[in-house]
Structure 1
């Protein structure tokens, strides 16, 4: 009975999509918004879990609805990609764009995050391995305790999440690193080569993380455990898991800062 109900819902939704693409009727669009509204709440809840407590989840939902509406208006049902996959990327992007426009992350936190990323890049270039906390702190010119405090402050912002939109070096469209994990088969020939390069680079970068950071990334993004649940698995506090997660993301962003080039740059090399 449940399967029949699910199949009926799928048929009704497909018919709704076909009619909407034919007529662009506003009432049909509103029905699609109601159908997929739970996606917005899901994405807002996931992003909200890593943001400061003063960020209201209902605000995130309202930002995400704009992304959902844009996704509905742009989606082509004939593409070889599920609408849910396509919409989640747009919902995340709309929420993060709005958070960025509000600029609630202090400039000092942004600056320190960039300093840590640069330190990681330079240390890895000279040592050919993942630098230790002590090496990173020394390179930045701060104490180990200051590094821990900085990681905590960075962890309270979307800057320390793979969900954050990121622009590859050389320009091009912004991407969310998490989407290369969640959906490695987006069928769009215009950017499939660059997407494939990013997928491979991200997988390699994750494989080179220190073991505990690699485990945190795997459990959080692949297994979708919360930071508290990961803490129980590792036998450490949620705060410590948050630090490990932040370091992992900063390492990944540092390593990926030069992995992609524009098509013009590729053809000139």
Structure 2
């Protein structure tokens, strides 16, 4: 029996495709709906491929961290190339500019907000909004914390960083695989397959707002599931420790740890004593709890 091994570049791309979905989804939450998800995803995927080709493992920088920065930069460039303001916003911006030029020529100085509002037949608040529309040519995502990227990249330099990153990735995969089925489908379709929210909502027979709620619920549960094993101090305390919801949450935490431990064992990784041993029924128990509410 023969086995084939893909090119290292291809393996890096396939293993990190989720990074593109995460980054694109983060951007889409902060821009108008007119921005094309497909355009952003294409730019992100190209950046991932280029990052894989240019990556030098001897630098000691984990690929996930390196690729996340390249993808984020590509999305910024794509946004800069777009005129993603709405048609109404563009019209107001043009009208404001022409009115300002006319008043400047008449008054011999730059008009103030009140003068612009009077000339436009509107109020000062509308003038301020038009100015914001005119100035906002690109969304700054550099200053925005990307919660998913934070889960898979550690900012502390050093040789141990690669090991820590691989551990986070292993728990992230386990966390997604162990999500209750409805939440897992939403995460996989939105982030792994770049499905539009509207398309997924129609397929599942729910509203787009419901998909957004499920996405938020899934990401919150996923984050807590990772932190429960990697950084327990970051897990928020339950409002009702003895409630059904908390038992379901704890069941998910145990299932994530068990699945991650199983993955580490298969890869020949020595586990820390703090990582729970694999319980074959953990995933089944979690799914049972998820359908009990």
TM-score in terms of structure 2 length: 0.34
User: Which one has the largest radius of gyration?
Assistant: 2
TM-score in terms of structure 1 length: 0.36
